[in-house]
Structure 1
Amino acid sequence: MFSHTIRMLEQGLDYAALREKVIANNIANADTPNYKAKDVQFKAELVRAMHSLEAKRTNPKHLPFSHSMNEKFVVATKGNLVYNHNGNNVDIDREMSNLAENQIYYNALIERLNGNLTTLKTVIRGGK
Protein backbone atom coordinates (compact mmCIF):
# COMPACT_ATOMS: atom_id res chain seq x y z
CA MET A 1 0.00 0.00 0.00
CA PHE A 2 2.86 2.35 0.85
CA SER A 3 4.47 1.94 -2.58
CA HIS A 4 1.07 2.51 -4.19
CA THR A 5 0.77 5.87 -2.41
CA ILE A 6 4.24 6.92 -3.55
CA ARG A 7 3.44 5.82 -7.11
CA MET A 8 0.25 7.91 -7.09
CA LEU A 9 2.14 10.94 -5.76
CA GLU A 10 4.77 10.43 -8.46
CA GLN A 11 2.07 10.40 -11.14
CA GLY A 12 0.60 13.58 -9.69
CA LEU A 13 4.03 15.22 -9.79
CA ASP A 14 4.48 14.12 -13.41
CA TYR A 15 1.12 15.70 -14.25
CA ALA A 16 2.00 18.95 -12.45
CA ALA A 17 5.44 19.13 -14.10
CA LEU A 18 3.95 18.67 -17.57
CA ARG A 19 1.24 21.23 -16.87
CA GLU A 20 3.90 23.69 -15.66
CA LYS A 21 5.77 23.31 -18.96
CA VAL A 22 2.61 23.75 -21.02
CA ILE A 23 1.55 26.87 -19.09
CA ALA A 24 5.07 28.36 -19.34
CA ASN A 25 5.00 27.72 -23.09
CA ASN A 26 1.64 29.48 -23.36
CA ILE A 27 2.97 32.49 -21.46
CA ALA A 28 6.11 32.59 -23.61
CA ASN A 29 3.95 32.63 -26.75
CA ALA A 30 1.42 35.20 -25.55
CA ASP A 31 2.37 37.57 -28.38
CA THR A 32 3.02 34.98 -31.10
CA PRO A 33 0.59 35.42 -34.00
CA ASN A 34 -1.83 32.52 -34.49
CA TYR A 35 -0.48 30.62 -31.46
CA LYS A 36 -3.16 28.51 -29.80
CA ALA A 37 -2.91 27.94 -26.05
CA LYS A 38 -2.56 24.37 -24.81
CA ASP A 39 -3.46 22.59 -21.60
CA VAL A 40 -3.14 19.14 -20.10
CA GLN A 41 -6.55 17.53 -20.22
CA PHE A 42 -7.90 16.70 -16.81
CA LYS A 43 -10.00 13.88 -18.21
CA ALA A 44 -6.88 11.91 -19.08
CA GLU A 45 -5.61 12.33 -15.52
CA LEU A 46 -8.99 11.37 -14.06
CA VAL A 47 -9.13 8.21 -16.14
CA ARG A 48 -5.59 7.39 -15.07
CA ALA A 49 -6.44 7.86 -11.39
CA MET A 50 -9.59 5.78 -11.71
CA HIS A 51 -7.63 2.99 -13.37
CA SER A 52 -5.19 2.87 -10.50
CA LEU A 53 -7.91 2.10 -7.95
CA GLU A 54 -7.64 -1.35 -6.51
CA ALA A 55 -10.83 -3.36 -6.19
CA LYS A 56 -11.33 -6.65 -4.41
CA ARG A 57 -13.69 -9.27 -5.80
CA THR A 58 -15.70 -10.64 -2.91
CA ASN A 59 -17.71 -12.98 -5.11
CA PRO A 60 -16.54 -14.96 -8.18
CA LYS A 61 -19.64 -13.68 -10.02
CA HIS A 62 -18.39 -10.09 -9.78
CA LEU A 63 -16.84 -8.66 -12.91
CA PRO A 64 -13.05 -8.45 -12.80
CA PHE A 65 -11.38 -5.06 -12.83
CA SER A 66 -8.74 -4.64 -15.49
CA HIS A 67 -6.81 -1.58 -16.53
CA SER A 68 -3.64 -0.38 -18.17
CA MET A 69 -1.23 2.04 -16.49
CA ASN A 70 0.45 2.89 -19.80
CA GLU A 71 -1.80 5.85 -20.56
CA LYS A 72 -0.09 9.18 -21.12
CA PHE A 73 -1.27 12.66 -20.24
CA VAL A 74 -2.95 14.41 -23.15
CA VAL A 75 -1.90 17.93 -24.11
CA ALA A 76 -4.73 19.54 -26.06
CA THR A 77 -4.86 22.76 -28.04
CA LYS A 78 -7.53 25.26 -27.14
CA GLY A 79 -8.51 26.13 -30.69
CA ASN A 80 -12.05 27.40 -30.26
CA LEU A 81 -11.22 30.82 -28.77
CA VAL A 82 -9.48 33.86 -30.24
CA TYR A 83 -8.73 36.74 -27.87
CA ASN A 84 -6.28 38.81 -29.89
CA HIS A 85 -6.54 40.40 -33.32
CA ASN A 86 -3.52 38.33 -34.45
CA GLY A 87 -5.29 34.97 -33.99
CA ASN A 88 -3.60 34.23 -30.66
CA ASN A 89 -5.85 32.88 -27.90
CA VAL A 90 -3.56 33.11 -24.86
CA ASP A 91 -5.27 34.83 -21.95
CA ILE A 92 -2.25 35.89 -19.88
CA ASP A 93 -4.33 36.47 -16.72
CA ARG A 94 -5.82 32.99 -16.93
CA GLU A 95 -2.41 31.45 -17.60
CA MET A 96 -0.86 33.21 -14.60
CA SER A 97 -3.77 32.00 -12.45
CA ASN A 98 -3.31 28.44 -13.77
CA LEU A 99 0.40 28.68 -13.04
CA ALA A 100 -0.19 29.71 -9.41
CA GLU A 101 -2.79 26.97 -8.94
CA ASN A 102 -0.46 24.36 -10.41
CA GLN A 103 2.42 25.46 -8.17
CA ILE A 104 0.20 25.08 -5.08
CA TYR A 105 -0.84 21.60 -6.25
CA TYR A 106 2.80 20.63 -6.90
CA ASN A 107 3.94 21.91 -3.50
CA ALA A 108 1.13 20.02 -1.74
CA LEU A 109 2.22 16.80 -3.46
CA ILE A 110 5.85 17.39 -2.47
CA GLU A 111 4.84 17.95 1.17
CA ARG A 112 2.80 14.75 1.16
CA LEU A 113 5.67 12.80 -0.43
CA ASN A 114 8.10 14.18 2.14
CA GLY A 115 5.72 13.11 4.91
CA ASN A 116 5.57 9.58 3.51
CA LEU A 117 9.35 9.38 3.22
CA THR A 118 9.76 10.67 6.78
CA THR A 119 7.39 7.96 7.98
CA LEU A 120 9.37 5.34 6.06
CA LYS A 121 12.62 6.62 7.54
CA THR A 122 11.14 6.39 11.04
CA VAL A 123 10.04 2.82 10.41
CA ILE A 124 13.47 1.86 9.10
CA ARG A 125 15.13 3.36 12.20
CA GLY A 126 12.82 1.31 14.42
CA GLY A 127 10.65 4.19 15.58
CA LYS A 128 13.45 6.50 16.66
Structure 2
Amino acid sequence: MIDRLTESLNFYSQALNLRAERQKVLASNIANSDTPGYKARDFDFASALHAAVDGQHAATQGGLQGGLPLATTEPGHIAGRGPASPAAGGIDLAYRNPMQPSLDGNTVDMNVERVQFMDNAVHYRADLQILGSQIKGLKSAMEPPR
Protein backbone atom coordinates (compact mmCIF):
# COMPACT_ATOMS: atom_id res chain seq x y z
CA MET A 1 0.00 0.00 0.00
CA ILE A 2 2.73 2.45 0.99
CA ASP A 3 4.73 1.49 -2.10
CA ARG A 4 1.84 2.48 -4.33
CA LEU A 5 1.48 5.82 -2.57
CA THR A 6 5.19 6.49 -2.90
CA GLU A 7 5.16 5.52 -6.56
CA SER A 8 2.20 7.77 -7.32
CA LEU A 9 3.91 10.79 -5.78
CA ASN A 10 7.44 9.97 -6.98
CA PHE A 11 7.46 11.83 -10.29
CA TYR A 12 6.48 15.24 -8.95
CA SER A 13 8.57 14.93 -5.81
CA GLN A 14 11.62 14.15 -7.97
CA ALA A 15 10.69 17.04 -10.28
CA LEU A 16 10.51 19.41 -7.29
CA ASN A 17 13.92 18.29 -6.03
CA LEU A 18 15.49 18.80 -9.44
CA ARG A 19 13.79 22.17 -9.93
CA ALA A 20 15.20 23.31 -6.58
CA GLU A 21 18.69 22.17 -7.60
CA ARG A 22 18.38 23.94 -10.95
CA GLN A 23 17.24 27.10 -9.18
CA LYS A 24 20.45 27.00 -7.11
CA VAL A 25 22.58 26.60 -10.24
CA LEU A 26 20.82 29.47 -12.01
CA ALA A 27 21.03 31.69 -8.93
CA SER A 28 24.76 30.98 -8.77
CA ASN A 29 25.09 32.06 -12.39
CA ILE A 30 23.25 35.30 -11.68
CA ALA A 31 25.26 35.97 -8.53
CA ASN A 32 28.52 35.54 -10.45
CA SER A 33 27.55 37.65 -13.45
CA ASP A 34 30.36 40.11 -12.70
CA THR A 35 33.01 37.57 -11.70
CA PRO A 36 35.85 37.51 -14.24
CA GLY A 37 36.35 34.09 -15.79
CA TYR A 38 33.13 32.60 -14.38
CA LYS A 39 31.50 30.06 -16.69
CA ALA A 40 27.70 29.80 -16.63
CA ARG A 41 26.42 26.30 -15.78
CA ASP A 42 23.12 24.48 -16.25
CA PHE A 43 21.83 20.94 -16.72
CA ASP A 44 19.32 19.19 -18.94
CA PHE A 45 16.27 18.96 -16.70
CA ALA A 46 14.42 16.34 -18.76
CA SER A 47 17.28 13.82 -18.78
CA ALA A 48 18.02 14.44 -15.09
CA LEU A 49 14.35 13.86 -14.20
CA HIS A 50 14.24 10.71 -16.30
CA ALA A 51 17.37 9.37 -14.55
CA ALA A 52 16.04 10.30 -11.09
CA VAL A 53 12.66 8.64 -11.65
CA ASP A 54 14.27 5.51 -13.13
CA GLY A 55 16.76 5.32 -10.26
CA GLN A 56 14.02 5.73 -7.66
CA HIS A 57 11.87 3.10 -9.40
CA ALA A 58 14.77 0.62 -9.41
CA ALA A 59 15.42 1.34 -5.71
CA THR A 60 11.78 0.66 -4.78
CA GLN A 61 11.85 -2.60 -6.75
CA GLY A 62 14.70 -3.90 -4.59
CA GLY A 63 17.40 -3.25 -7.15
CA LEU A 64 19.68 -0.30 -6.61
CA GLN A 65 20.03 1.25 -3.22
CA GLY A 66 20.11 4.99 -3.83
CA GLY A 67 21.69 7.69 -1.74
CA LEU A 68 25.03 8.38 -0.18
CA PRO A 69 26.62 6.05 2.35
CA LEU A 70 26.23 7.41 5.87
CA ALA A 71 29.42 8.10 7.82
CA THR A 72 29.94 6.02 10.94
CA THR A 73 32.11 7.30 13.78
CA GLU A 74 32.12 4.18 15.93
CA PRO A 75 32.67 0.55 14.93
CA GLY A 76 29.34 -0.43 16.50
CA HIS A 77 27.29 1.91 14.29
CA ILE A 78 25.06 0.35 11.68
CA ALA A 79 26.05 1.22 8.14
CA GLY A 80 23.27 2.78 6.12
CA ARG A 81 22.47 4.99 3.21
CA GLY A 82 21.04 8.47 3.24
CA PRO A 83 18.30 9.71 0.96
CA ALA A 84 19.13 10.05 -2.70
CA SER A 85 19.91 13.67 -3.48
CA PRO A 86 19.86 15.07 -7.02
CA ALA A 87 23.08 16.95 -6.32
CA ALA A 88 24.75 13.86 -4.92
CA GLY A 89 23.19 11.66 -7.57
CA GLY A 90 25.48 13.06 -10.19
CA ILE A 91 23.66 15.73 -12.14
CA ASP A 92 25.87 16.50 -15.08
CA LEU A 93 26.36 20.25 -15.01
CA ALA A 94 27.30 21.56 -18.41
CA TYR A 95 28.79 24.88 -19.39
CA ARG A 96 26.45 27.18 -21.23
CA ASN A 97 27.69 28.46 -24.59
CA PRO A 98 27.75 32.26 -24.57
CA MET A 99 26.06 34.21 -27.32
CA GLN A 100 28.41 37.14 -26.78
CA PRO A 101 31.53 36.25 -24.82
CA SER A 102 32.91 39.05 -22.67
CA LEU A 103 36.50 40.23 -22.57
CA ASP A 104 36.98 39.04 -18.98
CA GLY A 105 35.98 35.44 -19.86
CA ASN A 106 32.63 35.53 -18.04
CA THR A 107 29.96 33.63 -19.98
CA VAL A 108 26.89 34.68 -17.97
CA ASP A 109 24.25 36.36 -20.15
CA MET A 110 21.88 38.03 -17.68
CA ASN A 111 18.95 38.04 -20.10
CA VAL A 112 19.20 34.28 -20.63
CA GLU A 113 19.73 33.64 -16.91
CA ARG A 114 16.72 35.72 -15.88
CA VAL A 115 14.46 33.97 -18.38
CA GLN A 116 15.68 30.52 -17.31
CA PHE A 117 15.34 31.45 -13.63
CA MET A 118 11.74 32.63 -14.02
CA ASP A 119 10.80 29.70 -16.26
CA ASN A 120 12.17 27.28 -13.69
CA ALA A 121 10.32 29.10 -10.88
CA VAL A 122 7.01 28.91 -12.77
CA HIS A 123 7.51 25.19 -13.42
CA TYR A 124 8.43 24.64 -9.74
CA ARG A 125 5.20 26.31 -8.63
CA ALA A 126 3.15 24.28 -11.13
CA ASP A 127 4.75 21.02 -9.96
CA LEU A 128 4.07 22.01 -6.36
CA GLN A 129 0.39 22.68 -7.12
CA ILE A 130 0.01 19.39 -8.97
CA LEU A 131 1.67 17.47 -6.14
CA GLY A 132 -0.61 19.22 -3.64
CA SER A 133 -3.71 18.30 -5.63
CA GLN A 134 -2.53 14.67 -5.84
CA ILE A 135 -2.09 14.57 -2.07
CA LYS A 136 -5.56 16.07 -1.55
CA GLY A 137 -7.01 13.47 -3.90
CA LEU A 138 -5.30 10.65 -2.04
CA LYS A 139 -6.52 12.03 1.30
CA SER A 140 -10.09 12.23 0.09
CA ALA A 141 -9.89 8.68 -1.26
CA MET A 142 -8.70 7.39 2.13
CA GLU A 143 -11.31 9.20 4.23
CA PRO A 144 -14.33 7.16 5.23
CA PRO A 145 -17.63 8.19 3.65
CA ARG A 146 -19.83 10.48 5.73
Pick the TM interval, shorter chain. 0.7 to 0.9
SS across alignment from 1:48:
helix
Deviation digits for residues 5-64 of structure 1, max 9, x if unmatched?
311111101110010000000000001000000002336415416736x8xxxxxxxxxx
| Distance in 2, Cα, partners of 1:103 & 1:127 | 38
- For the pair 1:116 / 2:134, whether they are aligned, the reply is yes
Gapped regions of structure 2 (runs ≥ 5): 58-62, 67-88
- For the pair 1:91 / 2:109, whether they are aligned, the reply is yes
- Cα 1:46–1:117, aligned 2, differ >3 Å: closer, same or farther? closer
RMSD across aligned positions (CA): 2.6
Is the 1:19–1:39 Cα contact (8 Å) retained in structure 2? yes
- Cα 1:9–1:50, aligned 2, differ >3 Å: closer, same or farther? closer
Instruction: State the match for 2:20 in structure 1.
Output: 17
- For the pair 1:30 / 2:33, whether they are aligned, the reply is yes
Q: In the TM superposition, what is the alpha-carbon distance from 1:106 to its structure 2 partner?
A: 0.4
| Distance in 1, Cα, partners of 2:40 & 2:91 | 16
How many pairs are equivalent?
115
Show the 5 A alignment for 1:43-54: 44-45=47-48, 47-48=50-51, 51=54
Large movers: runs of 4+ above 4 Å: 67-71
Instruction: State the match for 2:74 in structure 1.
Output: none
What is the TM-score normalised by the length of structure 2? Answer: 0.67
Show the 5 A alignment for 1:50-69: 51=54
Is the 2:36–2:106 Cα contact (8 Å) retained in structure 1? yes
SS across alignment from 2:11:
helix
**Identity of aligned pairs, percent?**
30
Instruction: State the match for 1:5 in structure 2.
Output: 8
What is the TM-score normalised by the length of structure 1? Answer: 0.75
| Distance in 1, Cα, partners of 2:125 & 2:103 | 37
| Distance in 2, Cα, partners of 1:86 & 1:100 | 26
Q: In the TM superposition, what is the alpha-carbon distance from 1:69 to its structure 2 partner?
A: 7.7
Gapped regions of structure 1 (runs ≥ 5): 55-66
